[in-house]
Amino acid sequence: MDLTTATQKVQEKLQAAAGSLDATVKFVLGSEGTVFLNGNTNEVSNEDQDAQCTVMMEMADFHSMMDGDLNPMSAFMGGQMKIEGDMSVAMKLSSIFG
Span 37-90, pLDDT tens digits: 999 898 999 999 999 999 999 999 999 988 889 988 889 999 999 999 999 998
Domains of the chain: 3-97 (3.30.1050.10)
In sequence order, what are the residues at sequence separation of 6 or more whose Cβ sits closer than 8 angstroms to the Cβ of residue 24? 36, 37, 38, 39, 40, 49, 50, 51, 52, 53
pLDDT of residue 98: 60
pLDDT of residue 91: 87
Residue 12 has pLDDT above 80, yes or no: yes
In order of 49, 63, 78, 96, the CA distances from 45 in angstroms are 10, 17, 28, 17
pLDDT of residue 17: 79
Amino acid present at 70: L
